[in-house]
């Protein structure tokens, strides 16, 4: 019951964010301010608090590969469904693959997982980020090979607050360094605001007004994404050899919405960014419902 009440609290603040958007109390450009605070202040604080002084088992580094593999799985599905319509391939690859970890999974799960469980999310997201920050786009567009691709991916990854925080905390864990209690206490203040900011941001990002001519295609893509999520969720929960908590977290990650960076690459490639934005909104709405239910029963 306690877990259900926490989930309902998250959902409540998502609706608060949507209400503030619809009533124009929070303006359109508020999203940029909120996302900046989240990605460069509260989320790094949360990562510091959860990973400080944590021992890392070598077997957990397989989770980085899993983050890569799940992206390639959805890219493969995108290639399969567009074999007769190759002009749609890049759009489908960008909008069917990837997982929104930083502004969805971490805020939703931060109060339900142990530090080791949180570590598994971070490691998975490293592999996920390698794909989302340029590899998927390069594969789909056939551009940016070799050293230029590597430079683009590294530039995007290391301009990300969470990714930089992962590498700093993992490096400190390897050398056995822990921040003193005072620093952790300060970071906890920011970490405690992370879930609230993320839920308001999710509410701000949801759009329910969509062109009728797009709806059929949006629902088709959403159904494919959800079917892929179901396969990945069941496979990671039942087939992997990790402890129960890790398998549970991975099963939940599979239901995360598509990352916003897919929309950015759609704008760059001029492949229907408005549809990408609408698909992202539908993906967020479905993920909120499904992850909330799974958190209550798993």
DSSP output for the chain: -HHHHHHHHHHHHHHHHHHHHHTTSS-TTHHHHHHHHIIIIIHHHHHHHHHTT----GGGGHHHHHHHHHHHHHHHHHHHHTSS-GGGHHHHHHHHS---IIIIIHHHHTTTS-HHHHHHHHHHHHHHHHIIIIIHHHHHHT---HHHHHHHHHHHHTT-HHHHHHHHHHHHHHTT----HHHHHHHHHHHHTHHHHHHHHHHHH------HHHHHHHHHHHHHHHHHHHHHHHHHHHT--S-HHHHHHHHHHTTPPPPTHHHHHHHHHTS-HHHHHHHHHHHHHHHHHHHHHHHHH-
**Interatomic CA distance for residues 238 and 244, integer angstroms:** 10
Taking each helix axis from N to C end, the angle separating 261-269 and 89-96, rounded to the nearest 10 degrees, works out to 170
Confidence of residue 262 (pLDDT cuts 50, 70, 90): confident
Q: Cα Rg for the chain, rounded, in angstroms?
A: 19
CATH number at residue 22: 1.20.1530
Give the pLDDT score at 223: 95
Q: Range of 277's domain?
A: 2-297
Where is average pLDDT lowest: 140-149, 199-208, 215-224, 228-237?
140-149
Q: Under a CB-based contact definition with an 8 Å cutoff, are residues 203 and 17 in contact?
A: yes
Give the pLDDT score at 13: 84
Confidence of residue 2 (pLDDT cuts 50, 70, 90): low
Give the pLDDT score at 124: 94
Mean per-residue pLDDT, 287-298: 85
Q: Closest Cα partner for 277 from 207, 221, 229? A: 207
Mean per-residue pLDDT, 213-231: 91
Give the pLDDT score at 27: 79
Which among 38-42, 191-195, 240-244, 270-274 has the top mean pLDDT?
A: 240-244
**30 has a pLDDT exceeding 80:** no
**229 has a pLDDT exceeding 90:** yes
Mean per-residue pLDDT, 126-145: 76
**Interatomic CA distance for residues 178 and 194, integer angstroms:** 22
**Interatomic CA distance for residues 127 and 86, integer angstroms:** 26
The model's pTM: 0.85
**83 has a pLDDT exceeding 90:** no
Q: Which tens digits make up the pLDDT trace of 270-286? A: 777 778 878 888 888 88
Confidence of residue 182 (pLDDT cuts 50, 70, 90): very high
Give the pLDDT score at 230: 97
How many other CB atoms are there within 10 angstroms of residue 11's CB atom? 16
Give the pLDDT score at 51: 86
How many other CB atoms are there within 10 angstroms of residue 44's CB atom? 22
Percent of the chain scoring above 70 in pLDDT? 94
**208 has a pLDDT exceeding 80:** no
Confidence of residue 226 (pLDDT cuts 50, 70, 90): very high
144 phi, psi to nearest 5 deg: 70, 50
Q: Under a CB-based contact definition with an 8 Å cutoff, are residues 122 and 47 in contact?
A: yes
Give the pLDDT score at 73: 96
**144 has a pLDDT exceeding 60:** no
Cβ-based neighbours of 278, under 8 Å, separated by 6 or more: 207, 210, 211, 214, 218
Mean pLDDT of the chain: 84
Mean per-residue pLDDT, 221-231: 95
Give the pLDDT score at 222: 93
Total of domains in the chain: 1
């Amino acid at each position: 019951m306690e877990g259900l009440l926490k989930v309902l609290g998250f959902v409540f603040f998502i609706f608060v964010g949507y209400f503030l958007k619809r009533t124009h109390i929070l303006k359109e450009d508020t999203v940029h301010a909120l996302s900046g605070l989240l990605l460069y202040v509260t989320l790094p604080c949360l990562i510091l608090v959860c990973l400080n002084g944590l021992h890392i088992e070598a077997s957990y580094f397989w989770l980085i590969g899993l983050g890569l593999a799940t992206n390639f799985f959805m890219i493969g599905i995108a290639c399969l469904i567009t074999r007769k319509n190759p002009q749609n391939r890049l759009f489908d690859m960008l909008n069917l693959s990837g997982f929104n970890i930083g502004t969805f999974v971490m805020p939703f799960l931060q109060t339900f997982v142990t530090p080791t469980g949180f570590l598994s999310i971070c490691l998975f997201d490293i592999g996920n980020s390698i794909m989302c920050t340029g590899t998927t786009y390069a594969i789909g567009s056939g551009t940016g090979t070799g050293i230029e691709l590597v430079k683009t991916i590294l530039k995007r990854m290391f301009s990300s607050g969470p990714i930089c925080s992962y590498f700093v905390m993992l490096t400190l864990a390897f050398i056995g360094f822990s921040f003193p209690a005072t620093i952790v206490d300060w970071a906890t203040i920011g970490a405690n605001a992370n879930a609230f900011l993320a839920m308001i941001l999710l509410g701000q990002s949801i759009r329910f007004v969509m062109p009728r001519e797009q709806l059929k295609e949006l629902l088709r893509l959403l159904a494919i994404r959800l079917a892929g999520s179901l396969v990945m969720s069941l496979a990671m929960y039942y087939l992997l050899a990790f402890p129960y908590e890790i398998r549970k977290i991975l099963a939940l990650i599979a239901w995360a919405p598509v990352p916003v960076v897919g929309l950015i690459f759609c704008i760059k490639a001029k492949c229907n960014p408005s549809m990408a934005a609408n698909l992202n909104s539908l993906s967020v709405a479905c993920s909120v419902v499904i992850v909330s239910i799974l958190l209550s029963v798993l």
